[in-house]
Structure 1
């Protein structure tokens, strides 16, 4: 299944009233569930995973650890009202170039077309090329190389042509 097809399925499930969606094809399984306003995405292979892990008894009292709230993303200095956002189609690690020693895919002010690869998002050791899907000019790069990104997080701002 192609990344674009998965994106479309995510959008359809997100916009629909269904709570759970399962798709199986050629030994792969894609399962999406919605609960309390969030959507969970998981993909699995039919190959069984056998792993023996010793079971330990849980301690009688477990300390409660509270996480600090995540820092807010810096506000953009650019007026976003007339700009197109290129968003991450998945959770993963953002990379601006195909390898550490290669040139970046796009630079600030660079003209792109809809088929231009603008970055890679690595998820579970798979490197997914992200296309611009719009003709225009890169106005702002919103994430840093090697940064973890969330599903739906804006990566670039593009001034459409």
Structure 2
């Protein structure tokens, strides 16, 4: 991998929505993490666009309402998720729910799955990687859309073990 390839890779990652990227190839190792940069840029631009006085006026009423809503939502979600397991992406790539655009998806919400069943394909560096189910159960929720980029460790499926 030469300097030109590395520059192209950095430009592609910077223009994408990926927050984290890691690549190991032969003796080369590249790791990029944009999550800290994005949060700092967002904070700065908000303060520049809206004056601090205007922000302080709206904080009191908005915070109370939003905190109440968040508390309710968190409690409901925690109770819902107690019986669910998450299957995360083992790599960075593009998510495909079927082996080809014309074929039916490997799984859909409500599908019964067994350990070793194909759940999806993740395309990474022109290689198609079939992702298999880690345990027996039922697909409760598919969290990724067809053709969407996935990051390492990103939740893809919610499964009720059974």
Tell me the TM-score normalised to structure 1 length.
0.55
Structure 1 unaligned regions, length at least 5? 1-37, 47-65, 70-74
Shift of 1:81: 1.9
Match of 2:148 in 1: 147
* Cα RMSD, aligned residues only: 2.8
Greater share of helix: 2
Structure 1: distance between partners of 2:109 and 2:144: 13
Structure with larger Rg: 2
Structure 2 unaligned regions, length at least 5? 1-18, 28-36, 43-73
State the secondary structure of the residue aligned to 2:138: strand
Shift of 1:79: 1.6
Structure 2: distance between partners of 1:95 and 1:39: 20
State the secondary structure of the residue aligned to 1:42: strand
Match of 2:22 in 1: 41
Greater share of strand: 1
Note the 1:120-131 alignment, pairs <5 A: 120-131=121-132
Residues 138 and 149 of structure 1: is their aligned pair in 2 closer, same or farther, counting only changes over 3 Å?
Answer: same
Match of 1:97 in 2: 98
Number of equivalenced pairs: 100
Note the 1:64-103 alignment, pairs <5 A: 79-103=80-104
